Amino acid sequence: PRLEALDGMRWVASIQIVLYHMGQWTGWDSQGPAFWGSVWTQLFFLLSGFVLAYAELSKPPKTGSARPSTLRYIRRRLVVIYPAFLAS
């Protein structure tokens, strides 16, 4: 299931992050909420993690599996994320 309200909040956070970086690059700094870069970044990652986990763990169980496995989810996420981490 999609969480459209949270997708919208992720979109707002990502736009705020872009505005923050544009302000850094152009020298146009302000103290307003659009320029709280670390706050928006943390919110984006928090919401993204929740949305990914919620979507994965709320799927109906596959045949032969009693329920979604948190450990299986974490393993799959590591398989996707860890190679990119090592490459960077």
- pLDDT tens-digit series, residues 22-56: 877 777 766 666 667 788 889 999 998 888 888 87
| Tens digit of each residue's pLDDT (9 = 90 or more) over 47-82 | 988 888 888 778 776 666 666 677 878 888 899 888
Which two structure tokens, joined as six digits, stand for 43?
A: 């919110």
d(CA 84, CA 79): 9
Contact 40, 17 (CB under 8 A): yes
What average pLDDT does the structure give for the chain? Answer: 81
pTM over 0.85, yes/no: no
